[in-house]
Amino acid sequence: MASFTALSTSRHRKETKSYVKSHESDAAVSHVSSISPFKQGVHDENGLFNYIPKSLEIRSSDEAGRGIWTKATLNIGTTLLSCKPKLAALSNTYLDSHCSACFRPTPPTALQRCTQCTTVWYCDADCQNRDWSFHKLECIALKRWAAAAPSAEASIPNDAIRCLGRLLWKRKKAGASSDWAREINAMQSHRSSTLQPSTTEFHTHLAHSIVQYLGLLSPTDLAEFDIASAADLVDVISRFTTNSFTLTSPSLTPLGVCVSPAVALINHSCDPNAVVVFPRSSGSVAQEPLMQVIAIKPIAADEEILTSYIDTTLPKSQRQQFLLETYSFTCKCNLCENEGKSDSVDPRIAIWCPKACGGTSPLPVTDTDIVRCSKCKAVVTSTDAVIDAARVGQEALDKATALQFRDPEKSKQLTNNLIPILLSTSLTPSTHPLLGLSRLQQSLLISSLPSLSSLTGSQEERKAAQDLLDDAIRSASRSVSGLTAVLNEGHPVRGIALTQLGKLLAVDEPSPKEVQQPGDAHPHFFTKAAPFPPSGPPRLKLAYTTLMRAREELLIGFGKSNDGGEVGKDVREALVAIEKELGVWKQGVQNVIQDQPKPEKR
Tens digits of per-residue pLDDT, 93-110?
Answer: 999 999 999 999 998 889
Q: Are 447 and 465 found together in one domain?
A: no
Cα dist from 95 to 122, 214, 300, 374, 555, whole Å:
9, 20, 42, 51, 30
Is the pLDDT at 29 greater than 50? The verdict is: no
The answer to whether position 132 is within a domain reads no
Work out the pLDDT band at 275, boundaries 50, 70, 90.
very high
Cβ atoms 428, 482 nearer than 8 A: yes
The answer to whether position 232 is within a domain reads yes
The answer to whether position 517 is within a domain reads yes
Q: Are 291 and 430 found together in one domain?
A: no
- At 145 the pLDDT is 96
Q: Are 166 and 303 found together in one domain?
A: yes
Give the C-alpha separation, 316 to 312, whole Å.
Answer: 9
Q: Are 432 and 463 found together in one domain?
A: no
First to last CA, the chain: 86
Give the C-alpha separation, 75 to 66, whole Å.
Answer: 23
Cβ atoms 554, 77 nearer than 8 A: no
Residue 450, number of CB atoms within 10 A of its CB: 8
How confident is the prediction for the chain on average, in pLDDT?
85
Is the pLDDT at 326 greater than 70? The verdict is: yes
Q: Are 462 and 443 found together in one domain?
A: no
Q: Are 201 and 304 found together in one domain?
A: yes
> Which of the two residues, 18 and 217, has the higher pLDDT score?
217
Give the C-alpha separation, 173 to 107, whole Å.
Answer: 32
The answer to whether position 412 is within a domain reads yes
- At 325 the pLDDT is 83
Last residue of a domain, one of 428, 451, 474: 451
Last residue of a domain, one of 431, 451, 471: 451
Strand 244-248's sheet: what is its strand order? 87-90, 254-259, 244-248
Q: Are 363 and 296 found together in one domain?
A: no
Work out the pLDDT band at 417, boundaries 50, 70, 90.
very high
Q: Are 58 and 199 found together in one domain?
A: yes
Q: What is the domain range of residue 88?
A: 4-95+156-327
The answer to whether position 261 is within a domain reads yes
The structural domain count of the chain equals 3
Give the C-alpha separation, 162 to 143, whole Å.
Answer: 13
Q: Are 515 and 439 found together in one domain?
A: no
Last residue of a domain, one of 263, 295, 327: 327
Q: Are 481 and 430 found together in one domain?
A: no
pTM: 0.87
The answer to whether position 340 is within a domain reads no
CATH value at residue 172? 2.170.270.10
The answer to whether position 108 is within a domain reads no
Work out the pLDDT band at 192, boundaries 50, 70, 90.
low
Q: Say whether 525 sits in a helix, a strand or coil.
A: coil
The answer to whether position 134 is within a domain reads no
Q: Are 278 and 249 found together in one domain?
A: yes
Chain segment 547-564, per-residue pLDDT in tens: 999 999 999 999 999 999
Q: Are 419 and 285 found together in one domain?
A: no
